[in-house]
Amino acid sequence: MTASMSRKGNCYDNAMIESWHSLLKKELIYLTKFRTRAEAEVAIFAYIEIFYNRQRVHSALDYQTPAEAEAAYQA
């Protein structure tokens, strides 16, 4: 297996993850002043696991949360 490598800073190579990073920055990073790296890690983990995956609806998932979409898929 060969890892795919793209040019540095080319947002078109991986548009979905670039979009996600932009969302994370707009909804959390730019709005919060972290005092320590550990504080930032806890906040990012909480954003992903509590808000993004369990509360925030996604249009691509027919306006369900990722947790709801996964539960429906598993049923």
**Is residue 53 predicted with pLDDT exceeding 70?**
yes
25 class by beta-carbon count within 10 Å (0-12 exposed, 13-18 middle, 19+ buried): exposed
Q: What is the per-residue DSSP string for 17-57?
A: HHHHHHHHHHHTGGG---SSHHHHHHHHHHIIIIIITTT--
What value does the mean pLDDT take over residues 44-72?
Answer: 91
Retrieve residue 7's tokens. Answer: 């040019």
> What is the predicted pLDDT for the residue at 45?
97
Other beta carbons less than 10 A from residue 45's beta carbon? 10
Residue 74: pLDDT band by 50, 70, 90 thresholds?
Answer: very high
pTM across the whole model:
0.69
pLDDT in tens, 1-47: 565 666 766 666 777 888 889 999 999 999 999 999 999 999 999 99
Q: Domain map of the chain by residue range?
A: 36-75
